[in-house]
Structure 1
Amino acid sequence: MTTLPSWQNEMDGGRRVGGMVRAALWLLTVVGEGNIFTKAELRGAFPGASQIDRRIRELRDRGWRIDTSRDDPSLKQEEQRFVSPGAKVWIPGQAKAPKHKNSLTTAQRQRVFEADSYLCRSCGIAAGEEYEDGLTQSVLNIARRKVLLPDGSEEYEFVTECKRCGSGSGDREVDLGALLELAENLSPMERRILERWIGKGRRDPDPIEKVWGLFQTLPAEARKAFAEALEDADKADGGASEDGDKADGSDG
């Protein structure tokens, strides 16, 4: 096992060790994966580094997962959790941020939000809406999604994603070629329905799906009563149909 440099050393063989590298080593050797640390503990470990909070944020751009209370509601506002490490930034050449992690301007972020209708493109929630647990509201952000193109190349494209969906997901990817192949296997009628959904920007559930969704929200006793009422209605419809058939036969 390779011995890690000390997070306390500001110099390494005549080369100055930056705050981001030292913060990464501190997380690995002092905090430990899966454990919580506070802003006060971080600043106490680096009393001379005025931008140490920013150095932690820079680690996230290099694949380090460090959750805040926005990512994990169980955390207090002053707490963060070191979930998993990313790039080995203490190794020369590894500290550079990936090209697709370049920051967006405010205007660029706004254009992405507008293009995605201010909806999370992973779960569909809108900005400020409450999640099903009723405990937190959504906060939208801009994610970078890897798209595998039909010609085999890949590129990163910006997409709107809520904090919850983006937490710990890493770089999601979608295979555009595989999606096109699935679409080609649809029947002409299914493709026309898909085109309508795409044109409207949403998929409207069928009436039976709406009823099913509401039924699932009922308490046990209410579900039982609904099922019995539905069965009675079905029997009544069946009887009416049989009477109609007999009437048609007698007229003949």
Structure 2
Amino acid sequence: MMKKKVSVVIVTKDEETNISECIKSVLWADEILVVDSESKDRTCDISRGLGADVIERKWIGYADQKNYGIQKAKNKWVLSLDADERISDDLMKVLVEILDKDSIYKGYKFPRKNIFFGKWLKNGDLWPDYQIRLFEKERASFNNRYVHESVQVDGQVCKLDEPILHYSYDNVSEFFQRQKEYAILSAQESLKKKVSLNKTDIFFRPLWRFFRSYIIKSGWKDGLEGFIVSAGLAWYVFMRFAIILEFKKKNEVS
């Protein structure tokens, strides 16, 4: 038994293809809590069948849903996961060791091993992709960004070497569709915050994102997959600025 008890919180929506392996990778935890957003598939049934507690809640946003799960967790320590993530046996041993002793740290950040189309991308913008995922419940929460939300910790954070496994996309169309969804959310957030930008941003910033990921961070070493991901990230930036400029142009006309 670990000295510190931990709750694993997983936010889901129509994740029947992923949730089983995710939960199986954390069966060692003291509590597994799934916060589901009105799934139409078997996500909830599969989760309950594997022993997880399930709360069904209307979707409000990524950060809001995750913070709700943190609040509902029974234990002092929380490990936050997405349904397409896994804890390897090696990482499990590291986590058990951390949770079995006292420490000055209030949070722990992990690299993410992003696996696209069945291949681990070892280069480009998505490695090492550090994320804070283990933290003391009362000292941390997700910020209120519309997308790409992250954990803010009141206290010291320790950086670990062992990665979380992230099985993100199985095909190109799914990847580009998700980038479009993220771009819309990011544009909405920028408009709400009245972020200023130049018309040249729509040209130069996507090019820079591709150049940084594919050339500077050696995404080219990952072959075709590295090119597709770098291009997709650049397309995300282009879509974000295009939506913002379109909205502002409509307002000028009206």
Normalised by the shorter chain, which TM-score bucket? under 0.3
More relative contact order, 1 or 2 (CA 8 Å, 6+ apart): 2
- Please report the TM-score for the alignment, with normalisation by the length of structure 2: 0.24
TM-score w.r.t. structure 1 length? 0.24
Q: Which of the pair has more CA radius of gyration?
A: 1
If each structure's strand is expressed as a fraction of its own residues, which one has the higher value? 2
